[in-house]
Amino acid sequence: MEKAYKLLARQEQISNKKAKDLIDRGLVYHLDRKVKIARAQMANDTYFRVEEIDKVKIIYQDENILAINKPALLDSYELAETSEEDETELIHRLDRDTSGVLLLARNQEFLKDAIRAFKQRKVKKRYVAWVEGIFCEEIKIDAPIRTHKQGGKAFSQIDEKHGQPAITIVKPLEIQGKKSKVEIEILTGRTHQIRLHLSTIGHPVVGDERYGSVTRSKRILLHAKAISLLGYAFEAKEPRDIQKYK
């Protein structure tokens, strides 16, 4: 028996650190089950399958802004760190599992204007997701959110007394079996807002085990489809797992 990340490092001929990172990202599978604990003890002859991350695609760029279609399973901060532009900084972030439009500023003046637009709620954001259950009618969710750390990771919950205002509008798009595709507009930008709000109405995002999904998936099936601010408007093509469920 040996720790999973050490076995993976030997199999892929990579460093232990790189192997642990791949497991932490959710990219490593054994017998079609995701390996979730890098230090888990596993048999020495265990064979792993490593998923590849899709390539980053540029949607638009000019002297002020760089808009990209972020693939799932890639951290937002990595895109800023690897950008060829020294002055590029993240305007906002997407969760690791979330794909879609991500914006980076190319100068400090535009960055300040963009951050101000977010704070003043002058940014429009539209998402699509696959959720558990049959979702048929448009709904507006108005439930305050409080976020705290749990096990070193962010965890949000509804808190009518101490939470910050959070409003989400959800519309049905498609039903496939016992799963539904929905369009989401958020009027505020709280941590895990979409995931938590959908969970509270009994329709957690597929693959989102933290907030109640019972379906195994390679990732949380949430995509940031469109965003507009300061006269710009961008849309990111849906990846295959969002276009159609299974």
**pLDDT recorded at residue 80:** 63
Q: Is 95 a catalytic residue?
A: yes
C-alpha 157/C-alpha 197 separation (Å) is 9
When comparing pLDDT for 21 and 70, which is higher?
70
| Environment class of 28 (CB within 10 Å of its CB; exposed 0-12, middle 13-18, buried 19+) | buried
- Catalytic option among 24, 95, 113, 142: 95
Q: How far is CA 96 from CA 76, 140, 224, in A?
A: 7, 26, 12
C-alpha 72/C-alpha 38 separation (Å) is 20
pTM for the predicted model, two decimal places: 0.85
pLDDT in tens, 136-152: 999 999 999 999 887 77
The SS3 of residue 97 is coil
pLDDT in tens, 186-243: 999 899 999 999 999 999 999 999 999 999 888 999 999 999 999 999 999 999 999 9
**pLDDT recorded at residue 100:** 97
Alpha helix segments (H runs only) across 13-134: 16-24, 76-82, 108-119
3-state secondary structure string across 20-52: HHHHHCCCEEECCEECCCCCCEECCCCCCEECC
Token couple for 155: 């965890």
Tokens 């895109």 belong to which residue?
79
Whether 96 contacts 73, CB under 8 Å:
yes
What size, in residues, is the chain?
246
